[in-house]
Structure 1
Amino acid sequence: MLIGLQNVTFEFGARVIVKDATWHIQPNERIGLIGYNGTGKSTLLKLFVNQFSPSEGTVERGRETTIGYLHQDLLSFDTNDSILQVAMSAFEKVIRLEKEIEDLGKELERTGDEKTLLEYTDKLHEMELLGGYNIQHKTEEVLQGLGFSNSDLNRPYKEFSGGWRMRVLLAKMILAKPDLLLLDEPTNHLDLPSIEWLEKYLQHYQGAVVIVSHDKFFLNRMVTKIVELYQRELHMYNGNYEFYEKEKAVRIEMQQKAYENQQDYIRQNERLVERFRAKASKAAMAQSIMKKLDKLDRIEDVAIERPDLRINFRVDKVPGRVLVELDHLSKAFGDNVILSNAKAEIERGDKIALIGANGKGKSTLLRIIADAEPYTGNRKWGHNVDESFYAQHQLEALALDNTILDEMRGCGSQMTDLELRALLGCFLFSGDDTDKKIRILSGGEKARVALAKTIVSKANFLMLDEPTNHLDMHSVDLLISALNRYEGTLILVSHDRHFISKAANKIWEIVDGKIKEFKGPYDEWVAWNERMRKNGATEKQGHQKAKPAAVEAPAPPPVVNAPVNKELKKEIQRQQKLFQQAEEALNKNKALMLQLEKDLADPQIYSDKTRFLKAEQEYASAAKENERLEKDYEAVFTKLMELEG
């Protein structure tokens, strides 16, 4: 065992965070620590590193156990040193040894003493065993993996923003190779390529890792055990997050049944007490039953922990087929070219995820679409577009003297206070929280208010920049569910792969200044990229094997190939037209089904048998037609993908 909690109870004032908890962490374990926001996950990590002491029980640690702890409070650290120097400070022993070798070298030059020579040789051997001659190379490799360029490495640490500073401290931590890594939301400040790099690195890490994260993809790939802090107890699940979700559903069902059975038992006994209390001969029996009920270990109702509230969008207007048209679009920051003569369209019903590495211009493009960023070229709104833009840097638009509820009332949603409070509950504002003034909220809380305002705006086009950053897993799932029901169009920027995979039906990337579109969800995009990589590697190997010793310039392709390309282009255009027709037919039929559903929901229809049977027959016929149209739509889509691929 590296470290563990033994019968630990921890309290913040009158609030119990965890009660009588036992948890032992073994070498090389991969553990995900999860729980709703505010339950105390970060507090548990602080118990492990002695920042807090338990109210009862003990924290047991192996004498030689070393711990690395990544958390938000580290951002208070500041220095003029370069980021390379900060990260290399992980190798304290090697740096100390380097100094000793340098001092011994100077003494040896001065005295030529044999004893000094022997000590100098021993230190050199120790340096070799510690891999001390490679520390700069290792450090550069890790920093580059986390997204830093070569030119960044010698820049002062203090020049970087909070997110980039956190990456430097993460690099330092993993280079130090402690026996146990405690990582509190490590992916919060990383882009997709950096998250993927971190996954690969940690999979081969020689030590135990405990991760607090709301990133389901990351947890599924990284952990083999889930520890959930739930109702002040620790619950263990031996599997990844997907396993936990299935097992948790079974446990909740069992707990709910046990709760209901116990409630029945309590009610029966309370009825007996009421019946016997007034009779002198039965008073002792009533007293005995009451004592028994007082001693009963009460099972909590699982529904109390977090009710499943539904976030619903309301869309007022239906826009035209094209909502936004981008043409000859260019944008640069000095020498950094983001877009160069780029072109794209956002069509009605699109749910686009704009993905890629930090610095590629995702948020810039989103601001250009929202007309909140200068650019050159053409950006044109379509007919009847009613847009709403959510971006964390726009939080200054919130009125500081308003309460959260006041701010929501001003959105023009016509929702009642009760409905607004229910919605705010999904965004982690419960009870009296809704009466807090905006000015006293943290940055994360303001971001959640701004997102809630976006949800109730009645817009038919949403632009969302990192909407899940300050939400727990449950709230992210509620948002996904709402966006799937949303009848409008949206484009979002996010590094949460679970969110992207569930919320988007198209992927946009910025590649070489152009907007590259993939017509399909994130999972298909990942699989397609993997195929392209493999095909590219195979072709490269084939070229290398076939390469002759004397290289001649390859002959240009014969002109006879040109008509083939024209034929391909013509076929793609034909399939695109068929695809558009299939999409329009499917949308028309869905609108008909929706109208027929409304007719069947009208109670008056059931008083007229002929009318009811006709509506029912028409609905069955439309449903059958929908099935046929779906198959046609998928067939044309697949053919188009093959031709364009």
Structure 2
Amino acid sequence: MLIALQDITFEFGSRVILEDSSWHIEPGDRVGLIGLNGTGKSTLLRIINGEYSISKGSVNKSKSLTIGFFNQDLLSFETDESILTVGMMAFGKALELEKDIERITKELEDSQTDELLHEFSDKLHEFEALDGYNMKHKTAQVLEGLGFTTSDLDRPYSQFSGGWRMRVLLARLILQQPDVLMLDEPTNHLDLPSIEWLERYLVGYNGAVIIVSHDRFFLDRMVNKIVEVYQQQLHHYAGSYADYEVEKELRREMQQRAYENQQDYIRQQERFIERFKAKASKAAQAQSIAKRLDKLERVEQTDSGPSKIRINFTVDKTPGKILCTLNNISKSFGNIEILKGTSAEINRGDKIALIGANGKGKSTLLRIIFGMEPMEGERVPGHNVVTSFYAQHQLESLDMNSEILDELKNFGSGRTELELRQLLGCFLFTGDDVFKKIKILSGGEKARVALAKTIISQANFLMLDEPTNHLDMNSVQMLIDALNKYDGSLVLVSHDRYFVSQTANKIWEIVDGEIKEFKGTYNEYEEWKKRMAAQQQPASSKATNNNADTKKDSRQQNAAPTQDAGKGAINKDIQRELQKQQKQFSQVEGQVASLKERKAGLEASLGSPDIYNDKAKFAQVESEYQDVQKYLDRANQQYEQLFEKIMQLEANLIS
């Protein structure tokens, strides 16, 4: 065990953050630490790091334990050293040895004593044991993995923006290889390629990792445990975030049933007491029951789960079929070419996600589509298009002297105050928060107000630049639900892959200055990329084998006509098998849909208060629900297996 939190209680003034909570962190743990904003996730990390003292309980750590903590406070670090030098600070001991070795080398030029030679030998051995000769290479590798170019490595740290500085500090931290690596929103400052690199790195990380993140995709890929901070307690779940959601709902249902059963029992006992407390023959029994009720450990009623408030977009006008056409667009910043003679078209109903690395021109392209960025080429707007653009720079359009609620009222959407307050609640402004002045809000809070204004704009074409940056998971899900019901079209930029996978029906990527379009969802796009990579791999392996063995190459050339003749037959066999699997896949897909529908009907029945009055009926419905769940699990498993077979057959057919 690396760390043991035992029955800890922590308070901020009169507010209890954690009460009698325990958590044991083991080697190899990959933990997602989750909870609503303000519940104490970052506070808990600081308790583990020794920054905050608890009022009760104990925090035990192994003696030699090292902890690395990535958080926003690291930005207070300032230096004019190069980012490569800053990254190499992770190798503190090796750097000290390197200086000692340089000093001894100079001294040996004047005097080669035995003592000096022994010291030199010892230092070299220790330096080599610490892999000091590779520290520069390792640092460069990690920095480039996080998005820096080779030419960036010698640039001063002070020249970079806050987001890029955080990447340097993240690189330094992971190069230190602490026993426990704590990451507070690590993906906030990363683009998609950098997030994917970080995922690959963390998969092979030897220490324990604790992650606070609103990125569901990242959590699902990274963690094997979930710890939720909820109602001043730590609740532990095994598995990924998706597993947590299923288990959380089951626990909520079980607790609610236990609560309802206990309430029925209490009501029955109270009726008995009320009826017989004055009757001499039953008074003692009634008194005994009353005492038992006083000592009864009460089951708490569950909360209602995530907010059921829904965000709704309204569209004022229906646009023409084509919303925007880009013809032969080029854009440069100095010597840097962003777009080179590229063309594209946005049609009614398109929900396009612009993805790729930072610096490829995603936000620039958004501004070109909107008509606010000068460029070479032609931009043709469509008929009846009403556009609303959400981006960080739109914060400047907010009236700093207005209250939040008035800012939305004055926007002229026609919504009632209740509707506006419900909408602001979705964006984490509750109660009297709606009366705060815009000028006193943080950058993140202003961004949420600007996003709320975008939603009530009645536009039929939305442009969204990183809309989820300052939202919690519940708010992100509400925004996803709203965008899926939205009748208009949109183009969005986001590094939140879950958000993209749930909202986009087309993917645009800027490659070598051109817009490359993929018609399909993000998940389908990722599968397509994997198939393309798999097709390239055998070709390169075949070329390597041919060059390595000339005799084998000769035999292959002699046999080539026979192989070519047989290739058509093989392709036909694959095609027949593919058709067979696709037919079976359609059947299983229908079964899954039917079972899901049946499951939803049974869940509705189980949620009805009437069914609890009939124990036999409740038992029958619950048994049927369990059977349907088993069949659905099997069908889902068969669905996934068939999908993988089809992907493999398609890849074999193409290659």
TM-score range, shorter chain: 0.7 to 0.9
Residue 528 (structure 1) aligned with residue 562 (structure 2)? no
Equivalent runs, 1:110-125 vs 2, <5 Å:
110-125=110-125
Return the offset for 1:307.
2.4
Counterpart residue number, 2:54: 54
In the aligned structure 2, how far is the partner of 1:479 from the partner of 1:225? 27
In the aligned structure 2, how far is the partner of 1:542 from the partner of 1:445? 56
Q: Is the 8 A contact 1:231 1:305 kept in 2?
A: no
Counterpart residue number, 1:104: 104
After superposition, the Cα gap between the structure-2 partners of 1:254 and 1:545, relative to the gap in structure 1 and judged at 3 Å, is same
In the aligned structure 2, how far is the partner of 1:456 from the partner of 1:212? 31
Return the offset for 1:276.
8.8
Q: Which residue identity lines up with residue 212 of structure 2 in the other structure?
A: V
Counterpart residue number, 1:74: 74
Three-state SS of the structure 2 residue aligned to 1:205 is coil
In the aligned structure 1, how far is the partner of 2:321 from the partner of 2:280? 81
Counterpart residue number, 2:36: 36
Q: Deviations over 1:475-499 (max 9, x none)?
A: 1111111111111101100011111
Counterpart residue number, 2:344: 344
Return the offset for 1:164.
0.5
Three-state SS of the structure 2 residue aligned to 1:534 is helix
Residue 175 (structure 1) aligned with residue 175 (structure 2)? yes
Q: Is the 8 A contact 2:307 2:474 kept in 1?
A: no
After superposition, the Cα gap between the structure-2 partners of 1:380 and 1:264, relative to the gap in structure 1 and judged at 3 Å, is farther
Alignment gaps of 5+ in structure 1: 550-637
Equivalent runs, 1:185-584 vs 2, <5 Å:
185-265=185-265, 297-303=297-303, 306-543=306-543
In the aligned structure 2, how far is the partner of 1:273 from the partner of 1:434? 48
Q: Which residue identity lines up with residue 368 of structure 1 in the other structure?
A: I
After superposition, the Cα gap between the structure-2 partners of 1:38 and 1:300, relative to the gap in structure 1 and judged at 3 Å, is farther
Return structure 1 stretches of 4+ with deviation > 6 angstroms: 269-294, 641-645
* TM value normalised by structure 2: 0.80
After superposition, the Cα gap between the structure-2 partners of 1:381 and 1:88, relative to the gap in structure 1 and judged at 3 Å, is same
Return the offset for 1:106.
2.5
In the aligned structure 2, how far is the partner of 1:381 from the partner of 1:272? 76
Return the offset for 1:543.
4.6
After superposition, the Cα gap between the structure-2 partners of 1:404 and 1:239, relative to the gap in structure 1 and judged at 3 Å, is same
Q: Deviations over 1:255-297 (max 9, x none)?
A: 2222333444555667778889999999999998887666655
Q: Deviations over 1:196-246 (max 9, x none)?
A: 111111111111100111111111111111111112211111111111111
Return the offset for 1:298.
4.5
Identity %: 63
In the aligned structure 1, how far is the partner of 2:489 from the partner of 2:43? 40
Three-state SS of the structure 2 residue aligned to 1:412 is coil
Counterpart residue number, 1:633: none
After superposition, the Cα gap between the structure-2 partners of 1:422 and 1:128, relative to the gap in structure 1 and judged at 3 Å, is same
CA RMSD of aligned residues (A): 2.7
Q: Which residue identity lines up with residue 87 of structure 1 in the other structure?
A: G
In the aligned structure 1, how far is the partner of 2:482 from the partner of 2:151? 43
Return the offset for 1:107.
2.7
In the aligned structure 2, how far is the partner of 1:27 from the partner of 1:69? 17
In the aligned structure 2, how far is the partner of 1:279 from the partner of 1:435? 59
Equivalent runs, 1:140-155 vs 2, <5 Å:
140-155=140-155
Q: Is the 8 A contact 2:32 2:225 kept in 1?
A: yes
* TM value normalised by structure 1: 0.81
In the aligned structure 2, how far is the partner of 1:285 from the partner of 1:379? 86
Q: Which residue identity lines up with residue 97 of structure 1 in the other structure?
A: L
Return the offset for 1:506.
0.3
Three-state SS of the structure 1 residue aligned to 2:385 is coil
Q: Is the 8 A contact 1:187 1:195 kept in 2?
A: yes
Q: Deviations over 1:382-439 (max 9, x none)?
A: 1111111110122111111211111121232222211211111111111121121111
Three-state SS of the structure 2 residue aligned to 1:373 is coil
In the aligned structure 2, how far is the partner of 1:124 from the partner of 1:505? 58
Counterpart residue number, 2:160: 160
Number of paired residues?
A: 555
Return the offset for 1:71.
0.3
Three-state SS of the structure 2 residue aligned to 1:209 is strand
In the aligned structure 2, how far is the partner of 1:355 from the partner of 1:387? 21
After superposition, the Cα gap between the structure-2 partners of 1:288 and 1:492, relative to the gap in structure 1 and judged at 3 Å, is farther
Three-state SS of the structure 2 residue aligned to 1:302 is coil
Counterpart residue number, 2:613: none
In the aligned structure 1, how far is the partner of 2:494 from the partner of 2:344? 20
In the aligned structure 1, how far is the partner of 2:287 from the partner of 2:402? 53
Q: Deviations over 1:330-362 (max 9, x none)?
A: 111011111111111110111100000000000
Counterpart residue number, 2:597: none
Three-state SS of the structure 2 residue aligned to 1:200 is helix
Return the offset for 1:113.
0.8
Return the offset for 1:109.
2.5
Q: Which residue identity lines up with residue 452 of structure 1 in the other structure?
A: A
Return the offset for 1:541.
3.8
In the aligned structure 2, how far is the partner of 1:501 from the partner of 1:55? 44
In the aligned structure 2, how far is the partner of 1:215 from the partner of 1:438? 27
In the aligned structure 1, how far is the partner of 2:272 from the partner of 2:457? 54
After superposition, the Cα gap between the structure-2 partners of 1:510 and 1:644, relative to the gap in structure 1 and judged at 3 Å, is farther
Counterpart residue number, 1:614: none
Q: Which residue identity lines up with residue 67 of structure 2 in the other structure?
A: I
Q: Is the 8 A contact 1:404 1:438 kept in 2?
A: yes
Counterpart residue number, 1:20: 20
After superposition, the Cα gap between the structure-2 partners of 1:453 and 1:290, relative to the gap in structure 1 and judged at 3 Å, is farther
Counterpart residue number, 1:91: 91
Q: Is the 8 A contact 2:349 2:488 kept in 1?
A: yes
In the aligned structure 1, how far is the partner of 2:407 from the partner of 2:654? 47
After superposition, the Cα gap between the structure-2 partners of 1:290 and 1:457, relative to the gap in structure 1 and judged at 3 Å, is farther
After superposition, the Cα gap between the structure-2 partners of 1:83 and 1:295, relative to the gap in structure 1 and judged at 3 Å, is farther
In the aligned structure 2, how far is the partner of 1:10 from the partner of 1:448? 30
In the aligned structure 2, how far is the partner of 1:285 from the partner of 1:514? 84
Q: Deviations over 1:300-326 (max 9, x none)?
A: 443356422111111121111101111
Q: Which residue identity lines up with residue 532 of structure 2 in the other structure?
A: M
In the aligned structure 2, how far is the partner of 1:435 from the partner of 1:304? 27
After superposition, the Cα gap between the structure-2 partners of 1:279 and 1:169, relative to the gap in structure 1 and judged at 3 Å, is farther
Q: Is the 8 A contact 2:86 2:157 kept in 1?
A: yes
After superposition, the Cα gap between the structure-2 partners of 1:300 and 1:132, relative to the gap in structure 1 and judged at 3 Å, is same
Three-state SS of the structure 2 residue aligned to 1:8 is strand
After superposition, the Cα gap between the structure-2 partners of 1:41 and 1:279, relative to the gap in structure 1 and judged at 3 Å, is farther
In the aligned structure 1, how far is the partner of 2:168 from the partner of 2:455? 35
Q: Is the 8 A contact 2:404 2:435 kept in 1?
A: yes
Q: Is the 8 A contact 1:354 1:493 kept in 2?
A: yes
Three-state SS of the structure 2 residue aligned to 1:117 is helix
Three-state SS of the structure 2 residue aligned to 1:303 is coil
